[in-house]
Homo-oligomer: A and B are copies of this chain.
Amino acid sequence: MLLLATLSRPPVRRRLLPICLLHHRNIHAQPPPAPPPPPTIEYPLSHPIYAIWAANTSLGKTLVSAGLSIAFLNSSCSSKSKKFVYLKPVQTGFPEDSDSRFVYCKFSQFSLQNRPKLSVFASNHVINTSFPALKALLGEDSKYGSFGSEKVGHFGGAFENLGWYEETKLEGAENDEAKGVGLCSELICKTIYGWKEPISPHLASEREGARVEDSELLEVLMRGVQSGDEEGGDRNVDVMCVIETAGGVASPGPSGTLQCDLYRPLRLPAILVGDGRLGGISGTISAYESLKLRGYDVVAIVFEDHGLTNEVPLSSYLQNRIPLFVLPPVPQDMSNDLVEWFEKSQTVFSSLKDVMLSAFLRRVRKLHHMRKKACDILWWPFTQHEFVSEGNVTVIDSRCGENFAVHKTSNLETITQQFDACASWWTQGPDANLQIELARIVGYTIGRYGHVMFPENVYEPVLECAELLLEGVGKGWASRTYFSDNGSTAVEIALKMAFRKFLLDRGIHFDQLKVNASERYINLKVLALKGSYHGDTLGAMEAQAPSPYTGVYQQPWYSGRGIFLDPPTVFLCNGIWKLQLPKKIQVENVKMDDFCFNLRDEIFQETRDASLFASIYSSYISKELSHVNSIPYTDIGALIIEPVIHGAGGMEMIDPLFQRILVKECQSRNIPVIFDEVFTGFWRLGVESAAKLLCCQPDISCFAKLMTGGVVPLAVTLASEAVFEAFVGESKLKALLHGHSYSAHAIGCSAAVQSIKWFKNSQRNVNLIPGADLLRELWDTELVHQLSSHPAVKRVVTIGTLCALELRAEGCNAGYASLYATSLLKKIREDGIYTRPLGNVIYLMCGPCTSPQVCSQIMNKLIRRLDEFSEVKNVGACQP
């Protein structure tokens, strides 16, 4: 039985004679597997692993792979044995085309004529094929027939788990068997999935009823990659691994996902096989750009010479950033065995191999040096450098959707996936698809606009963004959009808006102030809640109650220009939602039951407006406000709240009833109301705007973070028309004179447009409950209850994309400066979850599109680690 391999290079097809026996090891049928969960990406850094891409089909990827195998296994060094692993994850046209067999055969033919120094065991495996491909392999007549020595089983599944295997031993020049196998090299070639028809994999897998999911393919591929490392990073074996893709960079894989997207979670360094023909400059550049746009590092470009000196414009385009290699013209004569061509090409392949090896070493060295350099020259925010040793620094190699790829040095050195449970500090929303969409849209926007200044100008992205904001988070009340750079500036702008509105409403007009400009006869205060946090610039800080962030040692100018109320909070403990009142709010005749809720939704019900608590809150607020009125020259110019959740303040959930009544009390007194939705906005809490949860509307509202899907800073302050009108008049000095050079920058607006639309499109965001403008529950109820009953846990808050818990801790173990959670956090990171605590508060945060399965996975891991933690800390049971 022959396995015929051809170079996938139509129209010149070469049929090769087999040069060794083909064994059949294991064929048995399998039921179609259930779609597996997304695999955890991890690959070793003990040896180089490259992906070979091409600008088009039939440009010679396989020739390059074969040439590399020869160059690598024949390279002169020396006292080590070598291993070259070639993987072809997706092969169509099988068995007539088999690139893994081509590499295997060419290497063998070459070695027979040019004896390698060391002996080489070469092998070719074919792991899975579609049924038609298997049939073709067995021949029409031998259907279900015997093959080799074993019987072929029945074919029930989509794929036949084949065990085709062929091997050969090629004697080395220097080293015969007598000298022992320790210095014998190895060539391993593997085809992972094969289909019969010589068409695009997505078509072949459809037509042959043999589809493989991306996650499955990645998982199998990773096993293949790790097989290069069976020696566990043995220093006496030099290993190199190449993975050859199919067709062009953006050709669809078996599931239909473009291959450049399919393999993106691995982000392997790339070799691009370019096109040396007429028109090939363009194709090569475009393919390169498609790879770059997905975050790949292209290490070298190689192409066949067609006498057109395509390397000249290509190298000018590349500005010498990456090396270009030109291969001699490939003989078109089908009978040519190419051995001579490989001989002629060896200098090129050898240099290419050297470039690949040194780029690999450079990469690993860089990953190593980054920790120290970071400690030496960076200054991290909110970080006590004294506590950060080199070993604690996380080196982030890339991210893909919700996951970081980090450099791990413990045991085997790897690139390993970590779930970004900080949602990169509360900004992230994109899954892997949206991330690439954003790369494309932002690239387009820079190509189109770069940055263009905003005042009195208009350009498409800003207008589209403003419209989406007013139709979305500002719906029903906002009519103007004021853009700035971050949450803090958005809040400063909001305060300026509110104060102006307040002054005008009190009849204090601009002209009067012009006369008396220097006379600050009014001491404007802001009404805010204790524990809320509105940003780090002074104006925003002044609107928050004293906290670790506002100490004189942090900002000597802070004075706290607010009236700060103590809010009632709600949280989950032992599976029950509980309301906790601050000391200042006194209650009588309230039953214990009234403090408890079975469901979180009950807390948000508007019917609570008629409850006893409503009147209790109302009178507390009235009392506080009338107290302020009695202070001479002092007035409350604005209310500012973070709706529902105090983020940086420790992930506290505030009783929404309290906030609603507070808003109503202020609006009845004509005090402008600001919602600081910088944290809560854009689905963070499961709804687009948290105002919806409060069932009331502000006059001014601030958004940032998730607005751009979490790629670039952009903030917006929305305002009602009445607020806007307070700034319209006959003088420029009456205008709002606050702005930043990048106000409403096109890039941010474009990213926001894309993200805002994506999150609320149920075709893109599977978590969206159609028609309800609501995310489904992402955190498994059972697990949440389990968490809230855990002895180490004081309270839990889950809502939308947030799952937070406060560890039971006392004294210096509690609060923002606490290091209590450090050991726990370390373990959680080892489990592949990146978290960073707020003192003794730990949270898991996902994106609006994260699958609930993933949320359950990370919650389970957290619970397991909490068990260990509470054993060590010996914490007592939760006392409700």
Contacts and interface: CB of A to CB of B under 8 A. Distances in A.
B250 A455 contact: no
A425 interface: yes
A381 B455 contact: yes
Interface string A683-722: 0000000000000000000001100001111000001000
Interface in A275-310: 278-279, 281-283, 285-287, 289-290, 292-296, 308-309
Contact of A542 (B436, B439, B557): B557
Interface stretch (A442-450, A666-674, A800-808, A865-873): A442-450
Nearest to A447: B295
A256 B394 contact: no
B447 A737 contact: no
Given A546-B518, A739-B382, A513 B395 contact: no
A531 interface: no
Contact of A293 (B293, B378, B492): B293
A256 B310 CA distance: 11
Interface string A425-439: 111101000011011
A745 interface: yes
10 closest Cβ pairs, A-B complex? A248-B282, A381-B739, A295-B448, A57-B279, A443-B443, A538-B539, A295-B447, A286-B286, A374-B458, A537-B537
Contacts of A77: none
A428 B450 contact: yes
Contact of A451 (B308, B424, B734): B424
B282 A447 contact: no
Stoichiometry, copies per complex: 2
A496 B555 contact: yes
Contact of A387 (B719, B732, B748): B732
A467 to B, nearest CB: 7
Contact of A249 (B198, B286, B309, B816): B286
Nearest to A458: B374
B740 A247 contact: no
A500 interface: yes
A730 interface: yes
Given A393-B456, A440-B443, A499-B556, A251 B279 contact: yes
Contact of A292 (B199, B443, B481, B499): B443
B200 A308 contact: yes
B279 A290 contact: no
A56 B59 CA distance: 14
Interface stretch (A172-180, A482-490, A780-788): A482-490
Contacts of A819: 732
Given A248-B279, A250-B285, A386-B728, A203 B308 contact: yes
Contact of A513 (B428, B466, B520, B553): B553
Interface string A399-439: 10000100000000000000010101111101000011011
Between A446, A552, A555, A719, the greatest number of chain B beta carbons within 10 A of the residue's beta carbon is seen for A446
Given A379-B736, A396-B457, A728 B446 contact: no
Given A370-B458, A427-B451, A537-B489, A439 B446 contact: yes
A734 B384 contact: yes
